């Protein structure tokens, strides 16, 4: 339950139209001293998170609809490589949370941006792009806290 | 398997460049079909000039392809997204170079069923964390592909002494 509450808290904390600095840098939740999550928001209000409240897991929090329990195929496209991923939807209030399963995404965190392409009933293919500015530091901090 | 079919397809497209007197042409909605001995093809071209098609060799080896009018690395297998209003999936697309054309060859068990939908999207991850997405009409696609398969079967039959 706690991760879901935390995710909701993060989602609620993120403004629907993030300020430019928030839309371009990774942030820590709840604080930098004992971070449980690292996340970044894009200009559309979507988020990419690394959640280490239990086991560390990457996920997308999106403003687009998905059907709870369904799995969507997708591709994660970094500047160095691209890999197929599986995105499992679980609804959390109005937020659509997609757990990302696939190869270690850490290898994709190279360069300025990462993009996720996924099948979508309305757009057919939906693309979500996120900044990687500050990602390595934020992810390392969360993983260090999780290993603590 | 991709490479074997790709080599056959290369020969097929090369042969198609020489117009044969016995060519058959059919139109199915937005799809256009051509059939001649050793070459059967159906395709649709979208407003961006990209092409989505289905082609068979004389041995009835058939495969789907897209020509995105962009370069690819010959022989490389790319991950790709294919999607329709009824659903989608990921697949692998093999880069085939034919003269100045770069074609992505692919197949998927669900693809024929998808052809009954209205629209098809092909998404390819490209450089700078971007995707090239092209959409194509599927109006007539299922009938066109069935016609190509039928023509390829007849062609294979005649090539092996059948009627």
Cβ(A67)–Cβ(A83) below 8 Å: no
Q: Express each pLDDT in B92-143 by its tens digit.
A: 999 999 888 999 999 999 899 999 999 999 999 998 899 999 999 999 999 9
B47 touches chain A (CB under 8 A): no
The DSSP bridge partners found for residue A28 are A38
Q: Which of B92, B106, B125 to mutate to test the interface with A (most CBs of A within 10 A)?
A: B125
- Spatial neighbors of A4 by CB under 8 A, at least 6 apart, are A92
Residues of B in contact with A100 (CB under 8 A): none
Looking at domain A2-147, which CATH architecture does it have?
A: Sandwich (2.60)
- Nearest beta carbon to residue A73 from set B88, B125, B133: B88
CA atoms within 13 A on the CB side of B102: 13
pLDDT tens for each residue of chain A, 148 residues long:
334 444 544 444 443 444 445 568 999 999 999 999 999 999 888 999 999 998 999 999 987 777 788 888 999 999 888 999 999 988 766 678 899 988 878 888 989 999 999 998 889 999 999 999 999 999 999 999 998 8
Please compute the mean of the pLDDT values over residues B65-90 and round it to a whole number. 94
In whole numbers, what is the pLDDT of chain B averaged over residues?
Answer: 87
For chain B, what's the residue count?
163
Q: Residue B15 — pLDDT band, cuts 50, 70, 90?
A: low
Q: Verify whether the Cβ–Cβ distance A73 to B81 is below 8 Å.
A: yes
Residues of B in contact with A84 (CB under 8 A): 79, 90
Tokens representing A25 are 């840098």
The pLDDT of residue B104 is 96
- Nearest beta carbon to residue B81 from set A83, A119, A121: A119
Nearest to B45 by CA among B148, B139, B110, B143: B139
Whether a cis peptide bond, with omega within 30° of 0, leads into A30 is yes
The pLDDT of residue B17 is 57
| pLDDT over 60 at B36, yes or no | yes
Tokens representing B136 are 């194509």
Ordered domains of chain B (ranges, CATH): 2-159 (2.60.40.1880)
A3 touches chain B (CB under 8 A): no
* Domain residue ranges of chain A, discontinuous segments joined by +: 2-147
**Strand order of the sheet with strand A95-101?**
A27-29, A37-41, A47-51, A57-62, A95-101, A82-92, A71-77, A113-120, A124-131
């Amino acid at each position: 339950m706690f991760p879901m509450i935390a995710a909701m808290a993060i989602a609620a904390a993120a403004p629907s139209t993030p300020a430019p600095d928030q839309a371009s840098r990774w942030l820590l939740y709840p604080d930098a001293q004992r971070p449980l999550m690292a996340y970044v928001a894009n200009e559309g209000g979507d988020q990419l998170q690394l959640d280490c409240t239990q086991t560390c897991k990457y996920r997308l929090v999106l403003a687009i609809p998905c059907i709870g329990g369904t799995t969507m195929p997708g591709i994660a496209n970094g500047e160095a490589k691209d890999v197929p991923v599986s995105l499992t939807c679980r609804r959390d209030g109005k937020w659509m949370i997609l757990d990302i399963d696939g190869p270690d995404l850490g290898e994709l965190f190279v360069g300025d941006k990462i993009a996720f392409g996924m099948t979508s009933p309305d757009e057919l293919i939906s693309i979500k792009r996120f900044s990687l500015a500050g990602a390595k530091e934020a992810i390392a901090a969360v993983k260090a806290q999780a290993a603590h | 398997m991709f490479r074997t079919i790709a080599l056959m397809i290369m020969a097929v497209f090369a042969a198609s460049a020489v117009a044969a007197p016995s060519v058959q042409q059919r139109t199915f909605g937005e799809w256009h079909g051509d059939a001649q001995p050793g070459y059967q093809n159906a395709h649709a071209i979208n407003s961006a000039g990209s092409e989505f098609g289905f082609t068979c060799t004389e041995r009835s080896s058939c495969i789907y392809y897209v020509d995105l009018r962009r370069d690819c690395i010959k022989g490389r297998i790319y991950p790709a997204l294919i999607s329709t209003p009824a659903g989608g999936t990921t697949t692998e697309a093999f880069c085939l170079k034919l003269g100045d054309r770069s074609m992505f060859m692919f197949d998927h068990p669900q693809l024929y069923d998808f052809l009954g939908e209205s629209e098809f999207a092909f998404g390819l991850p490209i450089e700078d964390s971007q995707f090239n997405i092209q959409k194509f009409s599927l109006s007539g696609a299922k009938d066109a592909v069935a016609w190509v398969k039928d023509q390829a079967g007849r062609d294979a039959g005649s090539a092996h002494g059948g009627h």
